[in-house]
Amino acid sequence: MSHKVYASAREALDGLTFDGMTIMSGGFGLCGIPELSIAALRDIGVKDLTVISNNAGVDGFGLGLLLESRQIKKMISSYVGENKEFERQYLSGELELEFNPQGTLAERCRAGGAGIPGFYTKTGVGTLVAEGKEHREFDGATYILETGLVADVSIVKAERGDTQGNLVFNKTARNFNPEMAMAGKVTIAEVEELVPSGDIDPDEIHLPGIFVQRIVKGMFEKRIEQRTTRPQPHI
């Protein structure tokens, strides 16, 4: 077995956590979220976290667990509409929020992983998003400067991985996970299936193992965020 393989998310986080750290958490809604690492962070009790994530989970699951335990000080997100506890903490002034257009957040993570300190984008020009940011014109159009993001630890979730950390994501569960994995100083990947090195065709790999330092195989609840059904037709 590779030295990258750990028995649990708690063990994979050993020696990496400290109060005030920045964490990138992959996923979109509840799709492809690193639920084991989130639960382990709650159990460890690390606090004053800055969490970079597309959203804040839901009440009682995902990042909602860390909000309930008051471990998150600041969220850098693009969507927070499914979490009542997030809303309560933000409106009461208990929680800081750095709001981003979704594409801008994705590019900030990608830029951080690529070593790019900043980039210009049209998105947000003329809105509250642009306040306090550098403006510059290119070819007659106005752009604003956005900075790349990096994290002390990135936690991501994949469908399959090998012992060297090469990962394959399941369809849309790919979402923010690859970009965030690249932007972490240390990246922990949770996988549903762990296979020996060499078992994954190189052409199938979505994220090379060089970006993953620790990997955990686990069992996942994989909740559905919003279940929508049709009434059964009368026969």
Q: Whose structure tokens read 């369809």?
A: 171
pLDDT (0 to 100) of residue 1: 54
Burial classification of residue 177, based on how many CB atoms lie within 10 Å of its CB (0-12 exposed, 13-18 middle, 19 or more buried)? buried
pLDDT (0 to 100) of residue 82: 78
Per-residue pLDDT of the chain (235 residues; tens, 9 = 90+): 579 999 999 999 999 999 999 999 999 989 999 999 999 999 999 999 999 999 998 999 999 999 999 999 999 999 887 789 999 999 999 999 999 999 999 999 999 999 999 999 999 999 999 999 999 999 999 999 999 999 999 999 999 999 999 999 999 999 999 999 999 999 999 999 999 999 999 999 999 999 999 999 999 987 777 778 888 777 6
pLDDT (0 to 100) of residue 157: 98
Distance CA 114, CA 48 (A): 27
CA atoms within 13 A on the CB side of 195: 14
pLDDT (0 to 100) of residue 17: 98
pLDDT (0 to 100) of residue 81: 77
Size (the chain), residues: 235
Distance CA 139, CA 61 (A): 46
What pTM was estimated for this model as a whole? 0.93
Contact 72, 94 (CB under 8 A): no
Choose which CATH entry (2.30.30.100, 3.40.1080.10, 3.30.360.10, 1.10.30.50) describes domain 5-116+150-217: 3.40.1080.10
pLDDT (0 to 100) of residue 226: 74
